[in-house]
Structure 1
Amino acid sequence: MSKFFKKLGANLQTTVGFFCLSAFLIWLKTYIVYQTDFTLGAQGPLQHFLLILNPIGTTLLLLGIALYFRGRVAYWLMILINLLESIWIFSNVLYYREFSDFLSVAIIGSASSVDNNLNKAIGGIIHLGDFFVFVDIIVLVLLLLFKVIKIDKRKIKKRFALSITALSFFLIFADFGISNADRSGLLTRTFDNNYIVKYLGLNEYLAFNIFQTHKQEASRSAASAKDIKPILKFIDSHQAPDNVQYFGKAKGKNVFVIHLESLQQFMIGYKWDGQEVMPNLTKFYHDQSTMSFDNFYNQVGQGKTSDAETMLENSLYGLPSGSAMVNYGTSNTFQAAPAILSQQGYTTASFHGDVASFWNRDNAYKSWGYDYFFSKPFYKDADNPNYNVGYGMKDKIFLQDTAQYIQQLPQPFYAKVITVTNHYPYDLDKQNQTIKPFNTGDNTVDGYVQTAHYLDQAFGEFLAWLKASGLYNNSMIVLYGDHYGISDNHRPAIAKLLNKPEVTNADLANFQKVPFMIHMPGLKGGINHTYGGEIDVLPTLFDLLGVKDDNYVQFGTDLLSPKHISIVPFRDGDFVTPQYIKYQNQYFYTQTGKQIDFSKDPAAKQAIAKIQDYVDTSLSDSDKVITGDLLRFYTPAGFKKVNRKDYNYNPAKTKAALKQDLVSEPSSIFARNHDKSLVDLYKTDAPELKKDAK
Structure 2
Amino acid sequence: MKDKKNKKANLTLVVIVMMLSTLLILTTLYLTLNFRNRGIKDLVFQLKGGVEGTAPVVVWGVVFANILPFIGIMATLLIPIWIIWKKTGFKTKRSRRIKALYPAGVFILSFVAFYILLDGPDYLKAVFQDSSMIEENYVRPENVKLKFPEKKRNLILIYAESIESTVMNKDLGGGWNYSIMPELEKLALENTIFSNTDKMGGFYQTEGTSWSIAGITASQSGVPIKGFINNQYKSTNFLNGAYSLGDILRKEGYNNEVIMGSKSEFGGKRQFFKNHGNYDIFDLYHAIANGYMTYEDRVWWGYEDSKLFKWSKEEITKLANKDEPFNFVIETVNTHFTDGYLEPGDVQKFPTQYENVHAQSSKQIGEFIEWAKQQDFFENTTIVVIGDHLGMQDNWYQENMVKDYDRSVYNVFINSALPAENNKNRISTTFDMYPTILASLGVEIEGERMGLGTNLYSGKETLVEKMGYKYFNDELKKNSVFYNEQILQDDAQEAITLRKNK
Tell me whether the two structures share a fold, i.e. TM-score over 0.5.
yes
Query: Which runs of no fewer than 5 residues in structure 2 stay unpaired?
Result: 491-502
1:491 Cα deviation (Å)?
6.8
Cα drift, residue 455 of structure 1: 0.6
Report the secondary structure of 2:330's partner residue. strand
1:36-63 superposed Cα distances (whole Å, 9 cap, x missing partner): xxxxxxxxxxxxxxxxxxxxxxxxxxxx
* Equivalence for 1:277: 180
Structure 1 residue identity aligned to 2:166: F
Q: Residues 465-476 of structure 1: matches in 2 within 5 Å? A: 465-476=371-382
Letter of the 1:136 counterpart: T
Q: Does 1:432 align with 2:345?
A: yes
For residues 329 and 118 of structure 2, what CA distance do their matches in structure 1 show? 40
Matching residue of 2:159: 259
Paired residues of 2:159 and 2:386 also in contact (CA < 8 A): yes
Residues 270-669 of structure 1 aligned to structure 2 (within 5 Å): 276-287=179-190, 289-293=191-195, 294-301=200-207, 304-319=211-226, 321=228, 327-328=234-235, 330=237, 332-333=239-240, 334-379=242-287, 380-383=291-294, 388-389=299-300, 391-409=301-319, 410=322, 411-429=324-342, 431-438=344-351, 446-485=352-391, 487-490=393-396, 493-494=399-400, 497-498=401-402, 503-504=403-404, 507=405, 510-511=406-407, 513-520=408-415, 523-525=418-420, 528-545=424-441, 546=443, 548=445, 554-565=451-462, 567=464, 612-617=470-475, 620=478, 623-630=480-487
Number of residue pairs matched?
A: 457
SS of 2:162's partner is coil
- C-alpha change, 1:121 and 1:253, in structure 2 (3 Å) is farther
Does the CA contact (< 8 Å) of 2:245 and 2:434 recur in 1? yes
Describe the shift of the 1:325–1:473 C-alpha distance in structure 2 as closer, same or farther (beyond 3 A): farther
- Normalized against structure 2, the TM-score is what? 0.75
Q: Which residue of 2 aligns with 1:10?
A: none
| 1:122 equivalent in structure 2 | 62
Please say which structure displays the higher CA radius of gyration: 1
The structural deviation recorded for 1:467 is: 2.7
For 1:106, give the aligned amino acid. F
Amino acid at match of 1:79: V
Structure 1 unaligned runs (5+)?
Answer: 1-68, 176-195, 220-226, 439-445, 569-576, 578-607, 634-694
- Structure 1 residues 325 and 487: alpha-carbon distance in aligned structure 2, compared to 1, 3 A threshold: farther
1:83 aligns with 2:46: no
Distance 1:324 1:534, change over 3 A: farther
**Superimposed CA distance per residue, residues 70-99 of structure 1 (whole angstroms, 9 cap, x where no aligned partner):** 644333312211111212321333334333
Aligned-pair CA distance for 1:520 = 0.9
Displacement of 1:338 in angstroms is 0.5
What's the secondary structure of 1:479's corresponding residue? strand
Q: Distance in 1 between matches of 2:53 and 2:14?
A: 34
Q: Percent identity?
A: 16
CA-to-aligned-CA distance 1:258-277 (integer Å, 9 cap, x gap): 01111110323469999842
For residues 11-31 of structure 1, the C-alpha deviation after alignment (integer angstroms, 9 at most, x for no partner) is: xxxxxxxxxxxxxxxxxxxxx
2: CA distance between counterparts of 1:97 and 1:250? 53
For residues 266 and 252 of structure 1, the distance between their equivalents in structure 2, rounded to whole angstroms, comes to 34
Verify: 1:110 aligned to 2:20, yes or no: no
- Can you list the C-alpha shifts for 1:590-647, whole angstroms capped at 9, x where unaligned? xxxxxxxxxxxxxxxxxx8x765554445547x44443344659xxxxxxxxxxxxxx
Confirm or deny: 8 A CA contact 2:256 2:278 kept in the other structure.
Answer: yes
Q: How does 1:60-99 map to 2 (within 5 A)?
A: 71-99=7-35
Provide the C-alpha distance between the structure 2 equivalents of 1:323 and 1:120, rounded to a whole number of angstroms. Answer: 32
- The answer to whether the Cα contact below 8 Å between 2:203 and 2:429 also exists between their aligned partners in 1 is yes
How far 1:480 moved relative to its partner?
0.5
Note if contact 2:180-2:355 (Cα within 8 Å) is conserved in structure 1.
Answer: yes
2:150, 2:410 → 1: CA distance? 21
Query: Is the CA contact (8 Å cut-off) linking 1:542 and 1:549 kept in structure 2?
Result: no
Q: Distance in 1 between matches of 2:118 and 2:139?
A: 41
Per-residue Cα deviation, 1:189-243 (whole angstroms, up to 9, x for no partner): xxxxxxx96795479949x95x888879xx9xxxxxxx99x85543469xxx99x
- Over the residues paired in the alignment, what is the CA RMSD in angstroms? 4.6
> Is the CA contact 1:350–1:372 (under 8 Å) kept in the aligned structure 2?
yes
The SS at the match of 2:350 is coil
Q: 1:384 to 1:329 in 2, by over 3 A?
A: closer
**What is the TM-score with the length of structure 1 in the denominator?**
0.56
Higher relative contact order (CA 8 A, sep 6+): 2
Deviation track 1:101-128 (CA, whole Å, cap 9, x = no partner) reads 2342222233333532232441685485
State the secondary structure of the residue aligned to 2:453: coil
Following the alignment from structure 2 to structure 1, what is the Cα–Cα distance between the partners of residues 178 and 457? 34
CA distance in 2, matches of 1:540, 1:204: 33
- Describe the shift of the 1:155–1:281 C-alpha distance in structure 2 as closer, same or farther (beyond 3 A): closer
Q: Go from structure 1 to structure 2 and tell me whether the alpha carbon gap of 1:236 and 1:254 turns closer, same or farther (over 3 Å shift).
A: closer
In the other structure, the counterpart of 1:133 is 73
CA distance in 2 between counterparts of 1:553 and 1:134 reads 51
Instruction: State the one-letter code of the partner of 1:536.
Output: D
Q: Cα offset for 1:281? A: 1.6
